[in-house]
């Protein structure tokens, strides 16, 4: 039907008779016997010179046959890859007429209400930007698959209809017709299956896995999302990180044409100390500075006895931030859990600050020196429990300096040695798992599981890109004694463990190899590499923030007959 794609025609084809197919973009008519038609397919746009009087309108689907020729002197279009040539003597075949689209099928639709774009997603996807995104995604998928295959991983598909599991994200439930009142769940991840595949001796498993979580949506979260899910036997953390790195770096290379440097590592502790967050954005400074020792014997009540005192320095911020803005920053800090926020404006004489008079000369000088502050800088200080201090300043740091996620350069980082337990459950008073309850404790911290659980590190790691968590993983516990100790630390009795996790852990008794794995979100990786700051832009048919699809109108009310067959009855909405 066609000999070339619209966007591939160049001077090389001059003289050739070609056929191209596509949609009518812009057209410029100069009377009955001359019209310029921009024909578009996914590869680009070619100008066709039509001398017949054919009625050709926006988005008509055409097949055009004609001769490639150089454009006349002075009419070359530098803005178009095909701009040196055009198709002349065009024979136009209308394959399908079209009604005018609700929005222009080009970059102008970037500004159109997203709801309208989603209502007509098939038209939105027709645009160059979205075509590019679909294709980048496809290339990344292929690169990831190739990388995993080349490393000896076996792609195994796991079920979409799985049992509901008690822990973790809220699940989507699927009613069973054969057993009314019983339900499957859609998998929030293939976690249990991939570990059982290790018991099965698969050794290296991977899957492009669709995961489903019934949690509220965000710019970086959809109900349904894709993960590169993988698991390996007889490995250390380094083996897992290397295998994942290979896939991620290959993906980055096909998407950007440039292979990133090896991914650096930082411990969770250092990430919190320096960036105040477990998914640090390394693209900008504003790092947290340790000030605790300076105030070891301070008389300033707000600082005395604080677990940690840290500051961030905003270069030249003294003039930039007025009283009003500083009050807002203080409110922000308080809403994040800090008792307050101390701000210091660096002057030639010392500090301009409401609390300047409470600082001794030595303390002021030490702060200035530790922060590397120069006149005109703004310093923000928080004094609180270590975790609170870090988190509050980390959030302020992001508020103040973080560029949009898709703006280069790309800064990948492995965050390792996550704590095994995070926080304490209000009801039980027991620690809560940081990653999941099957994560291996750090070998150096085994003796603290009972005595000081919150200080126990784990062999768990996250991959972070430009401040977005791409994914996480861990080395799993494969020995029953250690698993029992961790369960006990979590306040899970042997009986409860058997009831909740028996179906998953009992198979380990038949010989579970040491194993560990990882899963990272492809949508997020593709979005960043495609230069998008919202994963909806790299998903062909995404849901809105409230979980609806304006194109298909899903979700829709259940059909009474179908409900009856499933043994379901819909209750009136709670008031």
3-state secondary structure 418-442: CECEEEECCCCCCEEECCCCCECEC
CA distance 511 to 526: 38
Q: How far is residue 19 CA from its own chain's centroid?
A: 42
CB of 64 to RNA, least distance (A): 15
Residue 372 in the binding site for RNA (CB under 7 A)? no
CA distance 288 to 381: 9
Handedness of CA 425, 427, 429, 433 (dihedral sign): negative
Residue 573 in the binding site for RNA (CB under 7 A)? no
Q: Are 370 and 294 spatial neighbours (Cβ–Cβ below 8 Å)?
A: yes
Residue 75 in the binding site for RNA (CB under 7 A)? yes
Residue 168 in the binding site for RNA (CB under 7 A)? yes
What angle in degrees, to the nearest 10, is found between the helix axes of 386-401 and 323-335? 130
Site residue total, RNA (CB under 7 A): 67
Residue 34 in the binding site for RNA (CB under 7 A)? yes
**The one segment of 11-19, 106-114, 312-320, 508-516 that binds RNA by CB under 7 A:** 106-114
Indicate which single residue of 137, 310, 313, 435 sits in contact with RNA (rule: CB under 7 A). Answer: 435
Beta bridge partner(s), residue 153: none
Indicate which single residue of 115, 375, 506, 554 sits in contact with RNA (rule: CB under 7 A). Answer: 115
Q: Which residue lies nearer to RNA by CB, 88 or 376?
A: 88
State the DSSP code for 476: B
Q: Cis bond leading into 28, ω under 30°?
A: no
User: Which residues, 6 or more positions from 117, have their beta carbon under 8 angstroms from its beta carbon?
Assistant: 103, 109, 124
CB of 226 to RNA, least distance (A): 14
Residue 15 in the binding site for RNA (CB under 7 A)? no
Residue 164 in the binding site for RNA (CB under 7 A)? no
Name the residue among 341, 467, 330, 317 with its Cα closest to residue 407.
467
Residue 10 in the binding site for RNA (CB under 7 A)? no
Q: Which residue lies nearer to RNA by CB, 28 or 177?
A: 28
Alpha-carbon distances of 546 from 223, 224, 516, rounded to whole Å: 10, 13, 35
**The one segment of 43-51, 122-130, 350-358, 363-371 that binds RNA by CB under 7 A:** 43-51
Indicate which single residue of 52, 113, 320, 352 sits in contact with RNA (rule: CB under 7 A). Answer: 113
CA distance 100 to 125: 16
Q: Which residue lies nearer to RNA by CB, 347 or 548?
A: 548
User: Which residues, 6 or more positions from 565, have their beta carbon under 8 angstroms from its beta carbon?
Assistant: 177
**The one segment of 2-10, 168-176, 409-417, 475-483 that binds RNA by CB under 7 A:** 168-176
Indicate which single residue of 91, 141, 292, 544 sits in contact with RNA (rule: CB under 7 A). Answer: 544
307, two tokens: 């677990």
CB of 96 to RNA, least distance (A): 15
**Three-class SS state of 479:** coil
Residue 409 in the binding site for RNA (CB under 7 A)? no
**The one segment of 101-109, 123-131, 369-377, 448-456 that binds RNA by CB under 7 A:** 101-109
**The one segment of 103-111, 136-144, 232-240, 261-269 that binds RNA by CB under 7 A:** 103-111
Q: Which helix (H) or strand (E) holds 380?
A: strand 378-384
CB of 351 to RNA, least distance (A): 31
CA distance 404 to 332: 20
For RNA, the binding residues in 209-238 under the rule CB under 7 A are: 213, 215-221
Residue 278 in the binding site for RNA (CB under 7 A)? no
Q: Return residues touching RNA (CB under 7 A).
A: 26, 28-34, 36, 38, 47, 49, 51, 57-58, 71-72, 74-77, 79-80, 83, 86, 88, 100, 102-104, 108-109, 111-116, 165, 167-170, 188-189, 191, 213, 215-221, 432-437, 534, 536, 544-546, 548, 550
């Amino acid at each position: 039907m066609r000999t070339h794609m619209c966007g591939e025609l160049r001077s090389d084809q001059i003289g050739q008779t070609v056929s191209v197919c596509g949609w009518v973009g812009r057209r410029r008519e100069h009377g009955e016997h001359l019209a310029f038609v921009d024909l578009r397919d996914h590869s680009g746009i070619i100008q066709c010179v039509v001398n017949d009087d054919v009625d050709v309108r926006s988005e008509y689907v055409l097949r055009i046959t004609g001769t490639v020729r150089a454009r006349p002197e002075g009419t070359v279009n530098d803005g178009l890859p095909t701009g040196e040539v055009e198709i002349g003597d065009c024979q136009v075949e209308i394959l399908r007429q079209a009604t005018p689209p609700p929005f222009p099928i080009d970059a102008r639709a970037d500004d159109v209400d997203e709801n309208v774009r989603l209502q007509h997603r098939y038209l939105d996807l027709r645009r160059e930007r979205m075509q590019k995104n679909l294709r980048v995604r496809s290339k990344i998928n292929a690169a990831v698959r190739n990388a995993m295959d080349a490393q000896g991983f076996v792609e195994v598909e796991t079920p979409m209809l799985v049992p509901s599991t008690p822990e973790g994200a809220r699940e989507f439930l699927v009613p069973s017709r054969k057993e009314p009142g019983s339900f499957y769940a859609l998998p929030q991840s293939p976690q249990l299956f991939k570990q059982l595949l290790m018991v099965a001796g698969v050794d290296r498993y991977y899957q492009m896995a669709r995961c489903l979580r019934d949690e509220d949506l965000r710019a970086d979260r959809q109900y349904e999302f894709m993960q590169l899910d993988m698991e390996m036997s007889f490995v250390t953390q380094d083996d897992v990180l290397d295998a994942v790195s290979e896939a991620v770096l290959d993906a980055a290379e096909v998407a950007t044409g440039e292979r990133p440097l090896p991914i650096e590592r930082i411990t969770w502790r250092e990430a919190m100390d320096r960036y105040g967050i477990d998914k640090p954005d390394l693209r900008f400074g504003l790092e947290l500075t340790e000030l605790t020792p300076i105030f070891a014997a301070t008389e300033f009540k707000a600082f005395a006895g604080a677990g940690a005192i840290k500051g961030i320095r905003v270069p030249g911020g003294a003039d930039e931030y007025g009283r009003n803005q500083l009050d807002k920053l203080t409110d922000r800090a308080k809403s994040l859990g800090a008792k307050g926020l101390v701000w210091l404006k660096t002057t030639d004489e010392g500090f301009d600050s409401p609390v300047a008079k409470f600082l001794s000369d030595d303390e002021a000088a030490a702060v200035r020196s530790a922060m590397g502050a120069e006149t005109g800088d703004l310093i923000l200080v928080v004094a609180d429990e270590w975790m609170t201090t870090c988190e509050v300043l980390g959030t302020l740091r992001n508020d103040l300096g973080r560029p949009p996620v898709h703006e280069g350069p790309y800064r990948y980082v492995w965050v390792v040695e996550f704590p095994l337990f995070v926080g304490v459950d209000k009801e039980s008073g027991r620690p809560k798992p940081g990653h999941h309850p099957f994560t291996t404790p750090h070998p150096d911290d085994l003796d603290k599981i009972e005595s000081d659980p919150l200080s126990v590190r784990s062999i768990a790691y996250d991959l972070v890109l430009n401040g977005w968590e791409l994914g996480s993983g861990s080395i799993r516990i494969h020995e029953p004694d250690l698993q029992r100790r961790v369960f006990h630390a979590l306040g899970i009795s042997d009986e409860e463990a058997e009831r909740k996790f028996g179906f998953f852990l009992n198979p380990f008794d038949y010989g579970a190899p040491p194993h560990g794995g990882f899963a990272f979100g492809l949508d997020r990786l593709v979005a960043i590499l495609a230069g998008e700051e919202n994963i909806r832009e790299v998903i062909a048919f995404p849901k809105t923030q409230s979980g609806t699809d304006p194109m298909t109108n899903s979700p829709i009310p259940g059909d009474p007959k179908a409900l009856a067959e499933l043994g379901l009855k819909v209750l009136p909405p709670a008031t």
